[in-house]
Amino acid sequence: MAEKNKQINGSFKNYIKAALAAYIITAVVFIVSAILLTYGKANEDTIKILSFVSTFISAAAAGYITASGMEKRGILWGALGGLIYAAILMAIFYIFGKNTDFTSGKVLCLVFSLIGGALGGIFGINTKK
């Protein structure tokens, strides 16, 4: 029983580390996007692409970190890490955003997070020392 609790606590810590890393990556990309949009020649379409790339990379990082602390099933742990990242991101959008409709862009965000997290999980489980 104690071993099971230790594993659950370790999993929770991995999710926290994964989410923090993913949101740091997201914040950096959003800040760079804001600078490009304000001072550069980037248009809003470029920002949308950067947003999806950011989502994919952040979810992959979350999946990698989540799966790296597990013994097996990296693709599942990674996908779960990516989906948790996306769920928190969507909750933030719903709380602070004006547009609360569930659009195709939000579906794409979930898909990119799932795929990115799964790929990150594959790398995370297979690059253990």
DSSP string, 69-111: TSSS-HHHHHHHHHHHHHHHHHHHHHHH-S-----HHHHHHHH
CA distances from 16 to 46, 48, 81 (A): 30, 27, 10
Banded model confidence at residue 9, pLDDT cuts 50, 70, 90: low
pLDDT at 56 over 70: yes
- Contact at 8 Å (CB) between 59 and 118? no
Specify the pTM: 0.80
Question: What range defines the domain where residue 38 resides?
Answer: 2-126
Q: What is the mean pLDDT of residues 30-41?
A: 81
Query: What pLDDT, on the 0 to 100 scale, is given for residue 10?
Result: 57
Structural domain total, the chain: 1
